Amino acid sequence: MSLKFPRRSFLTTVGATFLISGTASASKRTEINPVTLKGDIEEPVQPKHVKEERRRLVQQYNLDDGTNFPLYSFENDSTKIVVGYGFSIDNGVPVETVYKIPNIEGNSSTGANRTQSRLETQKSPPENDQVDETIENFHSEIDQFEQGSRNSIINDDQVSTNQVGNPEPGWDKQGELNVATAVHRTYYDGSSRQIGRIDLDSEVWKSMDENRDSEDKYACALRGEMWPSKTIDHIGEPYYRNDYSHLIQDWDATMMGSPTITESDPDNDESESIDMTLSITTSKSAGLTIDWQTPYISRSETSQPDETVGWEFTYPWRAGSDARHDHIQLYCLGESWLDSSHREYDMILDTKFEGRFKKDNPEAEGDDTLHSPVRWNKL
pLDDT in tens, 319-377: 677 889 989 999 888 999 999 876 666 889 999 999 999 997 777 899 999 999 888 88
pLDDT tens-digit map of 299-321: 899 999 999 999 999 998 876 77
Tell which residue, 265, 264, 320, 263, has the closest CA to residue 291. Answer: 265
| Mean of pLDDT values over 220-235 | 92
Q: SS3 for 302?
A: coil
| Angstrom distance (rounded) from CA 284 to CA 237 | 52
pLDDT: is 192 or 108 the higher one? 192
pLDDT tens-digit map of 106-163: 454 443 333 333 433 344 434 566 889 999 999 999 999 988 766 666 654 333 222 2
Cβ-proximal residues to 166 (8 Å cutoff; 6+ apart), any chain: none
Task: Write down the pLDDT at residue 18.
Answer: 30
Tell which residue, 300, 292, 247, has the closest CA to residue 274. Answer: 292
- Give the single-character DSSP code of 45: B
Q: SS3 for 214?
A: coil
User: Residue-wise over 329-338: b if at least 16 C-beta within 10 A, else e?
Assistant: bbbbbbbbbb
Instruction: Tell me the pLDDT band of 244, cut-offs 50, 70 and 90.
Output: very high
Task: Write down the pLDDT at residue 10.
Answer: 20
Instruction: Tell me the pLDDT band of 223, cut-offs 50, 70 and 90.
Output: very high
Residue type, 75: E
pLDDT: is 287 or 222 the higher one? 222
Task: Write down the pLDDT at residue 65.
Answer: 73
pLDDT: is 210 or 40 the higher one? 40
Q: SS3 for 234?
A: coil
Q: What angle do CA 153, 159, 164 make, to 5 degrees?
A: 130
| Mean of pLDDT values over 202-225 | 88
Task: Write down the pLDDT at residue 105.
Answer: 59
Task: Write down the pLDDT at residue 148.
Answer: 78
Tell which residue, 163, 47, 157, 3, has the closest CA to residue 91. Answer: 157
Task: Write down the pLDDT at residue 200.
Answer: 96
Tell which residue, 227, 178, 226, has the closest CA to residue 202. Answer: 178
Helix or strand run (H / E) with residue 376: strand 364-378
Which DSSP string corresponds to 46-113? Answer: -HHHHHHHHHHHHHHTT--SS-EEEEE-----TTEEEEEEEEEEETTEEEEEEEEEE--TT---SSTT
Q: For the chain, what is the total number of helices (H) and then of strands (E)? A: 4, 16
Which DSSP string corresponds to 309-324? Answer: EEEEEE----TT-B-T
Does the pLDDT value for residue 77 go beyond 80? no
| Angstrom distance (rounded) from CA 263 to CA 244 | 25
pLDDT: is 23 or 329 the higher one? 329
Task: Write down the pLDDT at residue 191.
Answer: 78
Does the pLDDT value for residue 56 go beyond 90? no
Task: Write down the pLDDT at residue 165.
Answer: 29
- Give the single-character DSSP code of 265: E
Tell which residue, 270, 276, 370, has the closest CA to residue 311. Answer: 270
Task: Write down the pLDDT at residue 210.
Answer: 75
Cβ-proximal residues to 169 (8 Å cutoff; 6+ apart), any chain: 22, 23, 208, 209, 282, 284, 286
Cβ-proximal residues to 42 (8 Å cutoff; 6+ apart), any chain: 109, 114, 115, 118
pLDDT tens-digit map of 165-182: 233 457 888 889 999 999
User: What is the overall mean pLDDT for the chain?
Assistant: 76
Under 8 Å between Cβ of 283 and 309: no
Instruction: Tell me the pLDDT band of 296, cut-offs 50, 70 and 90.
Output: confident
pTM confidence score: 0.82
Share of the chain above pLDDT 90, in %: 37
